[in-house]
Structure 1
Amino acid sequence: MRIALAQTAPSVAPEGPPQLEKPHSTSPFPSIDQNLIDVVGFVQRAAEQGAEVVVFPEYFLQGIVDAGRQYLSLPSKHLTTYLQSLAKQYKVCLVGSIVHGTREAGTPGAVDLPSVSPFEHIPASSSSPASSKNGITPAQLEWAKYLEKHPVSAEENSHPVIYNTAFFINESGEVVGEYVKKNLWHPEREYLTPGKDEHKVFDTKWGKAGMMICWDMSHPAHAQDLAKQGADIIFAPTFWYATDSEPTIHKYEHDPQYETKMVSSLCFARCLETETVWIMCNAGGDPLEGFMGGSGVWVPLRGQVAACGVGAQLEVVDIDLKVLKDARETYKVREDASRRLAT
């Protein structure tokens, strides 16, 4: 299995409704446009290196989506469609997360979202220029007019209905696995809706796989749920800042790399506890902005076999899943768990 960690530096839109410098003449989703262009470049480079699965961070397309930026969730289905086409074109599997939003019945604009994609102008090759006339396409114009006519209301901001959903798209462009984040980081609880469905594994050509997202990694019981279902691989798209323990951490003397080492320790612990290949891709970027990167792949009996630094980076690694058979015979974590269940 050849895995590409696409540690991108997602652009984050400003809070509030989109502010167009020249109404109806520029993109209504400029940050998503830029992130999509970056994604295409990463996928193209990964495919050139023979990658079979390209794993992106949490929030890699929309940036942080909170109550003040929930308008970014409205075109989410078009993002999924775009990625399906990209996976099919490059014959690679794609993993990441997308925030999907709904507008409750009775909300102005709830049932008349534009059906056209505002991202159709983004080329599927980094060598091709974006296609637009006079700075905006007809689809972008339709979305710009929609957002102008139906801005996200103060009431919607107070009670947003948005879900952070991890996905696995196979090389044929099919969505074969989805998971809605259940364990929300504390600030996220103010605007994201947690998932309620149980964790489920899905089939890939390499074995059974499951997904968790970021703060889920701090809840070992959920990883064990996937292990009980026979997971061989667990993907964990992540958006973890180096500043997430602030300001409390400054009350104590601590390792300057505390946050990075904590995440790495969680990944290795979950890898051994579940006897799976654990693949975590975090956002990278400028450390002065709080980014810490640290994406990696952890394998029983091997340890961490791929690691990224702080900034944006593409890292490709080969994994032979035969190691899992030896790990399970050596550690017998699953065997012991099965015996406890049987009694």
Structure 2
Amino acid sequence: MSTIKVALIQLHPQPHQTESNLARGIAYIRKAASDGANLAVLPEYQLGDFLPEDPKFRDQCANWKVHLDTYCSLAKECNICIVPGSAAELHRDETTGTEAIYNVVYFIDNTGTVAGRYAKKNLWHPERLYVKSSQHDAHVAFDTPLGKVGMLVCWDVAFPEAFRELIAQGAKLIIVPSFWKLTDCAPQGTLHNQLAEQVFLDAALISRACENTCAVVFCNAGGPADDGFAGLSQVTVPFLGCIGRVETCEEGMKIVDLNMGLLEDAESVYKIRQDLARPDWHYSYTIRDSI
């Protein structure tokens, strides 16, 4: 597919409003499909389900399959690929009996089939008290009707290694649901610049696209500016940088035309993938379990 129409659905995930958040997400996806979008992407924790201090939190996390099935049926009905943001999932190890919560994102193709799954690896600091990292599991690129795709979540953007691992497997489209606020840099950051997180995101998203000759689809949560919401959902590519964004921090949707041929032009110039595929490539990483 030479041009992909990407719907950035900058939903405002409202706490304790799972069904309302789901209904609004579905309505946006239907609108995106009717407007000709090939792919609809929602933010991290788009169901508003990350409420670790709520006594019902673990029960809600156990209900993840019901919502996934809903999105699979919607993708088939509307003939559209969907990345329905991420959700907190409770999983139980049948061997040990232990339970763990993961922050998980899926790629659902236009037939309603799950083509890819990713559990967040690089957790934001407050998450680490409640959510388990996928840690040493490999990042995996997978085939879709839109080409080879990789998925990351939010704070993963800060780690170029994650992109490199996916690019080395042939991914050309990296999709990143996020819940990233302007207040995340804390008073230490806002003391220097109230828009420090916007500087971070704009710079990182363009850099990741350029240094990997890929397209980055970043879909962030929306909401009131007074609550620190950043918005900034955008698509970035080599040569051009940002080619479309949601022009508000509030909830909204933007459909962006993504020319996949541009990525091939960038690769023909920079030859990043060609270098990564060389048998004598000179960068490698070693995981140390102990020091």
For normalisation by structure 2, the TM-score amounts to 0.88
Code of the aligned partner of 1:64: F
1:97 to 64, 86, 91: 86
Counterparts of 1:78-227 in structure 2 under 5 Å?
Answer: 78-95=66-83, 96-102=85-91, 161-196=100-135, 197-227=137-167
Residue ranges of structure 1 left out of the alignment (5+ in a row): 14-30, 111-158
1:77 to 52, 65, 75: 65
8 Å contact kept, 2:214–2:237:
yes
8 Å contact kept, 1:67–1:191:
no
**Aligned mates of 1:330, 1:206 — CA distance in 2:** 23
Shift of 1:104: 6.7
Code of the aligned partner of 2:91: T
- 1:180-235 deviation line (CA, Å, top 9, x unaligned): 10000011111001014211111112310000000001010111000100111000
Code of the aligned partner of 1:33: E
8 Å contact kept, 1:243–1:290:
yes
**Aligned mates of 1:104, 1:210 — CA distance in 2:** 26
**Aligned mates of 2:114, 2:41 — CA distance in 1:** 14
Shift of 1:324: 1.1
Instruction: Give the aligned partner of residue 123 of structure 1.
Output: none
Deviates more, 1:328-337 or 1:64-73: 64-73
Secondary structure at the aligned position of 2:180 is classed as: coil
Instruction: Give the aligned partner of residue 290 of structure 1.
Output: 228
Instruction: Give the aligned partner of residue 58 of structure 1.
Output: 44
Secondary structure at the aligned position of 1:172 is classed as: coil
Secondary structure at the aligned position of 2:186 is classed as: coil
1:36 to 18, 22, 38: 22
Code of the aligned partner of 2:12: A
Shift of 1:67: 5.0
**Aligned mates of 1:72, 1:301 — CA distance in 2:** 43
Residue ranges of structure 2 left out of the alignment (5+ in a row): 283-291
Shift of 1:102: 3.0
Shift of 1:63: 3.7
- 1:317-343 deviation line (CA, Å, top 9, x unaligned): 111211111101112222333347446
8 Å contact kept, 2:49–2:88:
no
Instruction: Give the aligned partner of residue 144 of structure 1.
Output: none
Give the count of matched residue pairs.
Answer: 274
With over 3 angstroms needed to count, the CA separation of the structure-2 counterparts of 1:341 and 1:34, relative to structure 1, is farther
When you count strand as a share of all residues, which structure comes out higher?
2
Identity %: 35
8 Å contact kept, 1:4–1:51:
yes
8 Å contact kept, 2:5–2:36:
yes
Shift of 1:263: 1.1
8 Å contact kept, 2:49–2:61:
no
Instruction: Give the aligned partner of residue 245 of structure 1.
Output: 185
With over 3 angstroms needed to count, the CA separation of the structure-2 counterparts of 1:34 and 1:283, relative to structure 1, is same
Code of the aligned partner of 1:274: N
Instruction: Give the aligned partner of residue 285 of structure 2.
Output: none
Code of the aligned partner of 2:243: V
**Aligned mates of 1:66, 1:320 — CA distance in 2:** 40
8 Å contact kept, 1:66–1:192:
no
With over 3 angstroms needed to count, the CA separation of the structure-2 counterparts of 1:290 and 1:331, relative to structure 1, is same
8 Å contact kept, 2:185–2:197:
yes
**Aligned mates of 1:202, 1:307 — CA distance in 2:** 26
Matched, 1:230 2:170: yes
1:269 to 171, 189, 207: 207
Matched, 1:303 2:241: yes
- 1:50-108 deviation line (CA, Å, top 9, x unaligned): 00100000001134343533332121010111111111111111102122113577xxx
8 Å contact kept, 2:109–2:145:
no
8 Å contact kept, 2:217–2:234:
yes
CA RMSD of aligned residues (A): 2.1
After TM superposition, which residue ranges in structure 1, 4 or more long, deviate above 4 angstroms?
Answer: none
With over 3 angstroms needed to count, the CA separation of the structure-2 counterparts of 1:301 and 1:65, relative to structure 1, is same
For normalisation by structure 1, the TM-score amounts to 0.76
**Aligned mates of 1:71, 1:315 — CA distance in 2:** 34
8 Å contact kept, 2:223–2:229:
yes
